[in-house]
Structure 1
Amino acid sequence: MPLPFNARRIAVVAPHPDDEILGCGGTMARAAAAGAEVHVVVVTRGQPPLFEEELVGWIRAETLRAHDIIGVADTQFLDFPAAGLDQIRRSDLNQALSSALSRIEPDLLLIPFIGDIHLDHQIVFNAALVYARPRGSGGPGCVLAYETLSETNWLAPGVTPAFIPNMFVDISETLERKVAAFQAFQSQVKPQPDERSVEAIRALATLRGATAYRYAAEAFVLVRQIY
């Protein structure tokens, strides 16, 4: 089942490993199954003393296993410090992310939402849009912001930017692949009622699907569409 926007090369920007699976894993799997190239750029890496090196290596391996389940063509790791992007020169991040995305040349770009509670997500959103500026004919024709459980709805909607989706992707056929990919992140899976639980992933997919009269869906905010 092809995607409605006929994307052939997709880039997903993840502030941290597993954000991309939580936010748009079903869409990624559907695109890969339809023959599109799906690329992921993971911006940060846990670093001591906040994160033990053994855990960091474990999460890196989990990321690659999850991407294999989804059908990701290639994964780039930029290795900026997790929970520390506010300490990085913005020009350095912009340049590194733009360079990574330029190698992909996506026609569809999926990025975290500006209203996520994690400051890393907000910074990555802005850095991705620096790359996506329509300053030539080779930029992405479509930019979508995805929602991430435990990040997108934990700020203060009404005071801060609220996630109000206006694009829905049917993932009825790929929801279970998304769940399997998230379960590959054994270090991150939590028991219900935590938002990072399998039950929460299925519940959100069911809710977003019902909004569009589908069994399961992922929701996005359309940032830009160029026809």
Structure 2
Amino acid sequence: MGKHRLYVALTAVLLMLGGYIYHGYAYSVLPQPAYYLLRDMPSPKATDRVLCFSPHPDDETIAAGGYLCLAQRAGAEIRIVLATDGNKHGLKDLRYQEFRRATGILGIPEKNLVFWGYPDGHLRAYCLPLKSRIAWEINNFSPTVVLYPHPADHHPDHAVLGEMVEEVLKEQGYTGKECLACRYLVHHRYFPQPKALARQGYLLPPVAMLSFDQQWLKFPLPAEVLHCKAEAIEQYRTQLRNPFLRPLLHSFIRQNELFARWTP
């Protein structure tokens, strides 16, 4: 009986340990010191043409506001495509105003903003026209840098927009050399960590999203650029009023932004 209890206890401990390891692999992010192991995202140059796809008003700022701000200051050409109307709660006009104010703080002229107006939360129902418009934007703008949502993002609008961007790039023969194609992550169960304001912390990728088809890159933000990004995020008052979204938006005010360079 004593041995049986020992085996049961040992089995329980092993199962708990295995579950803990799996949970840590599946849901945790890299520890903060791993920041210094990530390569840097190349800094934007005056010769760059930066095309940013944003599913909703605010994604461009929380995920890439610092990069866009520095690209504008460097003299790069910038175009931001806003895919949905942000009208899930009847706030389309107000969210568009917030989008214009936030991107204006980042230094992006309003003439560089593109509004597609697809219904918020329903992008997957528009895959064909979405793909066609993405192809047109890429062909028309000839970007050297493309920023877009990660296809593995947990929000369906983010995921489908990322999928369509990569399908278009593949069909155009993209090999990873023609331009810098970088995914950005916003919605993931345990990303960022913590989901709270942590200005001195770093954004790091979930362990489960480390893979050979992408290279995670850090983009350090100078203090004045971080301040500019934080001010831009504060323009999204409709989202900051939501007690669930406020911590998420503020959790992207960190010492760096995070991108995953995609190579097919």
Same fold per superposition (TM over 0.5): yes
Asked if the contact 2:58–2:99 (Cα under 8 Å) also holds between the matched residues in 1, the reply is: yes
Q: Indicate which of 182, 207, 218 corresponds to 2:233.
A: 182
1: CA distance, partners of 2:74 / 2:44: 12
1:154, CA displacement in angstroms? 5.2
For residue 56 of structure 1, what is the aligned residue in structure 2?
A: 92
Q: TM-score, length-normalised on structure 1?
A: 0.77
Distance in 2, Cα, partners of 1:3 & 1:69: 23
Deviation at 1:92, TM superposition (A): 1.4
Residue 193 of structure 1: CA displacement?
A: 9.2
Residue type of the partner of 1:180?
E
SS at match of 2:260: strand
Task: Tell me which residue corresponds to 1:13.
Answer: 53
- Counterpart of 2:219 in structure 1 is 169
Q: 1:70, 1:178 within 8 Å by CA — same for their partners in 2?
A: yes
SS at match of 2:135: helix
Q: Mapping of 1:26-41 within 5 angstroms?
A: 26-41=66-81
Q: Any gaps of 5 or more consecutive residues in structure 1? A: 206-215
Give the CA deviation at 1:83: 0.3
Question: What residue in structure 2 maps to residue 213 of structure 1?
Answer: none
The structure whose Rg is larger is 2
Task: Give the length in aligned residue pairs.
Answer: 200
Report how far residue 162 of structure 1 moved: 2.3
Give the distance between the partners of 1:70 and 1:106, measured in 2 at CA.
19
Query: 1:46 offset after TM fit, Å?
Result: 3.6
Q: Is the alpha carbon distance of 1:163 and 1:181 closer, same or farther for their aligned partners in structure 2, counting shifts above 3 Å? A: farther
The one-character-per-residue Cα deviations of 1:42-96 (angstroms, maximum 9, x if unpaired) are 111144xx432xx2101001101111111224010111111011222x2211002
Question: Which amino acid is the alignment partner of residue 257 of structure 2?
Answer: E
Contact 1:113–1:122 (CA under 8 A) maintained in structure 2: yes
Matches within 5 A, 1:171-210: 171-173=221-223, 174-190=225-241, 194-198=246-250, 200-202=251-253, 205=254
Q: Which residue of 2 aligns with 1:42?
A: 82
Q: 2:122 aligns with which of 84, 95, 118?
A: 84
Aligned equivalent of 2:106: 70
Q: How does 1:116-135 map to 2 (within 5 A)?
A: 116-133=153-170, 134-135=172-173
Give the gaps of 5 or more residues in structure 2. Answer: 1-40, 192-205
| Partner SS, residue 248 of structure 2 | coil
1:132–1:140 contact (8 Å) kept in structure 2: no
Identity over aligned residues, as a percent?
Answer: 22
Instruction: Single out whichever of 60-69 and 161-170 deviates more from structure 2.
Output: 161-170
Deviation at 1:5, TM superposition (A): 6.0
For 1:21 and 1:176, locate their aligned partners in 2 and report how far apart those are by CA, in whole Å: 12
Q: Which structure is higher in helix share?
A: 2
